[in-house]
Structure 1
Amino acid sequence: MKVGSLVKRFLITLAIALSAGFLLSLTGLFLPWLLGPMAAFLILRQVTDMEFHWPKIFRTLGLLLLGVQIGASFTQESVILMVADLPYMLVMTIAIVVFSLLLGFLFQRMTRVSLSTALLGSMPGGLSQMVLISEEVKSANVTVVSVMQTFRILLIVFTVPVAAGFLSSRAPGELAETSFRFSPYAFGIALVFGYALYWLMKRISFPARELMAPVLAMAVVQTVTGSDLIDLPSLVIIIAQVLIGTHLGLSMEKLGDSLDSRLAGAVFLNTVLLIAFSAGLAYGLERLLPEYLFLDFFLSAAPGGMAEMTITALEAGADVPLVTSFHLFRLFFILLIAAPLVTYYVKKLDAKSGY
């Protein structure tokens, strides 16, 4: 493809992304620079044959910027509190995973897909990870798993941030100062450590490494040294939202080609029930730990992507280290324990049924 054509498509894509974000920001809705581009390209991908160009490096850059800002929010005090909250992370994670699997059985009854398809499609472990796992299970329908994960993520990314905008958040005086701070020595250590983490995660194909490597590197170095490394200006977070939102919108293929009414209705019902269950967990934890807000636990329990939920936490005035740590814990738990157990279970069923 000619360079001029790619540049033209890129400029059109950029113009649409910025225009959509700006227009949505005028409405006063929450996270306009993320949801605006995402909604615009989602709609355009469904109803037109327009061709766009958005280099993959932009998604990586957006996740890196977001990861740096999230990691910078970790302090020695927040890490100590996070360790104290580990039992609650375990309880919440197990509850969400078990409820998701129960919803998988319900989904199987509603749609008559294979049980392996329903369980893997309902598991809140991330689109790419669940699709890769489903490819190893003979009875699983990879297309249906992909559609289930995509549609659920889509619903959650649009509904949870909007709901968070109506919840009580912290006043500006209760949040950490947002002045730009820089410690060259400690930041240099964080860069080296972050690159090493990223290299290791890439070697083992760990998910969301562009986000998790800077988060872990910044959090560890700030906790050990006790110094503030960096605090990015709000404009940088807006840029990260545009970069990520555009990528998410463009990644949504024509859902109508593989999403019939019964499948869509079942995914919608399961997603609503899962969000309601997450809200119930958040309410229970807020009653147990009144020093936190309902918003903190709601975003921690919400089965959306880590990047989207932490962006929401940053913008909504939630406890960013708490939300991040809950999502990190759930990601590790699902990838290392829940997903392998479910895979083993469905493969055993396949063996018994002759697959």
Structure 2
Amino acid sequence: MKASNIWKTYLIALPGGLLFDFLNIPIPWILGPVVFVVFAKYFTTLESDTVPVAKNIAFVLLGVQIGLTFSAETFRSIGPYLFPYTILTSAMIALSLLAGLYIATFGTVDKTTALVGSSPGGLSAMIAVSESMKGNSALVTIFHTLRLISVLFIIPFYVTHGTFDGSSTVVASVKGGVNQGSYYTLPLYVVAAFIGWKLRDWIPASLVILPMLFIGSLQTSGVPFYPLPDVLFTLAQFLLGTYLGHTVSLREVISAGKTCIAFFVLAVSMIGIGIGMAFVLSWWTTMDVKTAVLALAPGGLVEMAITAEQTGGEPAIVSSLQTIRLLMIVLLLPWLFKKLRT
């Protein structure tokens, strides 16, 4: 890890966030750094690098940001959505795995790698599953990177520019939606980060999920949190976007060839299926379509919750349902993979 590579990476990422914010592009402080860093690595000799702890800080802050959107109604309101959402997201997972099996049958990738690579789970979690099952983790990383980038660029644009009857296009900022609490609540943010850090080896995406649930639960019980400055949450998105740009390599994607194209088509297809199922979920439960689209998007809990917060969706609902889908994938799919391999 060279200091020069680190500061060059962040300096390249910064104008990306500024430009995308100026152009009113959705989640600009994530997408802008991703685009600028990825293309800088491809067209120049930049060897990107980031501060490892910065990613963890970003995850905690974003978990806090999502948690602060919870209200007393959140946990009650998700009740009617649980069964329909579980049915629909299970169908999406099943379709993804069937497509993965098809790619393995007629392509050049082994069954294990195809199954793990086609699963709409988190990137880090699926890499861990791939390594435990002796799949090709390098290809799994490429396939999930394609899925994540596809979701990041398609879904926010769709919910921002699509037509949704009855959907609000303005949402209050996190800072404005939080009760004006006292300074005594500031240590609770540190406690949330500590819990997420200590359990990071036991719970998937703990640095996001546990602070989110800890802060969200306290807020719904009436704890008036002292509002953190919005610039902290913007910084968290910038750090996350820079990290994602650092991990994505266009050269590796191109080198994967036809198999990579197949998984890209799969990713876009699953996004389309997710949008279609969102209309079913909205009809079934009366959830607004925008929130349903973000809840069923194949991956990206943090990014989809932030998009909901910025575009008039329900970030607490989106994050809660995305967490359920993530836990389903992490807890059940490794067992299912073993059955499908035999």
TM-score with structure 1 setting the length: 0.86
Q: 2:208 aligns with which of 200, 208, 211?
A: 211
Amino acid at match of 2:59: L
* CA shift digits 1:77-112 (9 cap, x unpaired): 111112332212311321121111122123224423
Q: 1:288 aligns with which of 275, 284, 287?
A: 284
Which secondary structure does the structure 1 equivalent of 2:16 belong to?
helix
Amino acid at match of 1:244: L
Q: CA deviation at 1:248?
A: 0.3
* CA shift digits 1:258-299 (9 cap, x unpaired): 633311220121012101110111000111233x32110101
* 2:247 is the alignment partner of 1:251: yes
* 2:304 is the alignment partner of 1:305: no
C-alpha distance in structure 1 between counterparts of 2:91 and 2:228, whole Å? 35
Cα 1:173–1:166, aligned 2, differ >3 Å: closer, same or farther? closer
Q: Counterpart in 1 of 2:144?
A: 149
Amino acid at match of 1:286: S
Q: Counterpart in 2 of 1:228?
A: 224
C-alpha distance in structure 2 between counterparts of 1:196 and 1:131, whole Å? 23
Q: Counterpart in 1 of 2:273?
A: 277
Q: 2:119 aligns with which of 104, 116, 123?
A: 123
Q: Counterpart in 2 of 1:84?
A: 80
Q: CA deviation at 1:53?
A: 3.7
Which secondary structure does the structure 2 equivalent of 1:30 belong to?
coil
Which secondary structure does the structure 1 equivalent of 2:255 belong to?
coil
C-alpha distance in structure 1 between counterparts of 2:48 and 2:95, whole Å? 39
C-alpha distance in structure 2 between counterparts of 1:35 and 1:43, whole Å? 12
Highest CA radius of gyration, 1 or 2? 1
Q: Counterpart in 2 of 1:326?
A: 321
Q: CA deviation at 1:229?
A: 1.9
Q: 2:256 aligns with which of 253, 260, 268?
A: 260
Amino acid at match of 1:195: F
Percent identity of paired positions between Structure 1 and Structure 2: 28
Contact 1:107-1:270 at 8 Å conserved across structures: no
Q: 2:333 aligns with which of 331, 334, 338?
A: 338
Cα 1:109–1:314, aligned 2, differ >3 Å: closer, same or farther? same
Amino acid at match of 2:191: V
Q: Counterpart in 1 of 2:168?
A: 170
Amino acid at match of 1:299: L
Q: Counterpart in 2 of 1:49?
A: 45
Q: Counterpart in 1 of 2:235?
A: 239
Q: Counterpart in 1 of 2:195?
A: 196
Q: CA deviation at 1:254?
A: 4.7
Which secondary structure does the structure 1 equivalent of 2:34 belong to?
helix
C-alpha distance in structure 2 between counterparts of 1:216 and 1:343, whole Å? 31
* 2:156 is the alignment partner of 1:161: yes
Cα 1:142–1:74, aligned 2, differ >3 Å: closer, same or farther? same
* CA shift digits 1:307-343 (9 cap, x unpaired): 2111211211210111001111011111111232223
* 2:16 is the alignment partner of 1:20: yes
Contact 1:191-1:217 at 8 Å conserved across structures: no
Q: Where do 5+ consecutive residues of structure 1 fail to align? A: 350-355
Contact 1:34-1:245 at 8 Å conserved across structures: yes
TM-score with structure 2 setting the length: 0.89
Which secondary structure does the structure 2 equivalent of 1:135 belong to?
helix
Contact 1:72-1:231 at 8 Å conserved across structures: no
* CA shift digits 1:138-159 (9 cap, x unpaired): 4x33322222112221222222
State the aligned residue count. Answer: 338
Amino acid at match of 2:56: T
